[in-house]
């Protein structure tokens, strides 16, 4: 039996079967790729774990981490719909809010046919799929700085909202006192708050 922790999965929650790599997705409500065998309910309405069977190779997979997943559903972060200067299918720009206050913007780049060709040895891309996000955080003098844990929550929210983006696809930039400085990729977030 294989164990998959849902709270460790990036993106929208789909994952490959640990044995045959068959794609298993929570959006597959008709159970085309898996069958639910058993559900163990925890406190409230949240499952403690779920046992599923892959329809491709018949592997048994126990899904865990529902509690942590439920905690992250309510986020203090949000992004706007695409701004007017966006070019759908190429790049969209969105404002980022945290606790209801605008803290920055994100530019999301979508793969063109040239990107699909250029990256084919490193990564499987489809044309029109999001593959890069650049977050620019504006730390203004009259506001408290955005903390590292806030940035981590913003990144988690964006990965859930923009299906296909991964930690290595998300770049962070800070603007403070009119100067830009690169924070780095989301996978390399600093352990200390931004000063």
pLDDT at position 58 is 94
DSSP letters, 1-65, are: -EEEEGGG--TTS-EE-TTT--EE-TT-TT-SSEEEEEEEE-STT-EEEEEEEETTT--EEEEE-
pLDDT reported for residue 144:
66
Instruction: Kindly tell me if the per-residue pLDDT of 10 is higher than 80.
Output: no
Evaluate the CA torsion angle 29, 110, 85, 140 in order and state its sign. Answer: positive
pLDDT above 70 as % of the chain: 88
Stretch 51-80: mean pLDDT: 82
Is 140 strand, coil or helix? coil
pLDDT number for residue 134: 94
- CA-based torsion, 130, 77, 193, 12: positive or negative: negative
pTM over 0.75: no
| 141-159 mean pLDDT | 79
Q: What is the pLDDT of residues 21-49, one digit of tens each?
A: 998 987 777 888 999 999 887 765 678 88
Pairing of strands 2-5, 60-64: parallel
Q: Give the β-pairing of 23-24 and 34-41.
A: unpaired
Q: What is the pLDDT of residue 73?
A: 56
pLDDT at residue 194 in the model: 46
The model's confidence at residue 75, banded by pLDDT at 50, 70 and 90, is confident
pLDDT for 136: 92
Mean per-residue pLDDT for 129-146?
80
Please give the pLDDT value at position 159.
83
**CB neighbour list of residue 174: distance below 8 Å, 6 or more residues apart:** 136, 137, 138, 139, 180, 181, 183, 194
Average pLDDT over all residues of the chain:
83
pLDDT band at 119 (very low <50, low <70, confident <90, very high): confident
Given a cut of 90, is residue 18 above it in pLDDT? yes
Task: Return the SS3 of 174.
Answer: strand
């Amino acid at each position: 039996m294989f164990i998959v922790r849902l709270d460790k999965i990036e993106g929208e929650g789909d994952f490959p079967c640990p044995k045959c790599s068959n794609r298993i997705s929570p959006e597959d409500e008709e159970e085309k790729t898996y069958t639910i065998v058993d559900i163990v309910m925890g406190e409230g309405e949240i499952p403690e774990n779920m046992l599923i069977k892959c329809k491709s190779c018949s592997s048994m997979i126990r899904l865990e981490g529902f509690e942590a997943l439920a905690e992250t559903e309510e986020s203090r972060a949000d992004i706007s719909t695409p701004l007017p200067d966006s070019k759908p299918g190429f790049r969209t720009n969105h404002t980022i809010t945290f606790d209801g206050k605008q803290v920055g913007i994100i530019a999301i780049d979508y793969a063109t046919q040239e990107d699909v060709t250029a990256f084919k040895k490193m990564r499987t891309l489809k044309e029109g799929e999001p593959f890069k996000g650049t977050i620019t955080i504006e730390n203004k003098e009259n506001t408290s700085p955005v903390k590292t844990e806030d940035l981590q929550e913003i990144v988690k929210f964006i990965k859930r909202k923009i299906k296909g983006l991964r930690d290595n696809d998300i770049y962070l930039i800070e603007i403070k006192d009119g100067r830009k400085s690169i924070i780095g990729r989301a996978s390399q977030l600093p352990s200390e708050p931004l000063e």
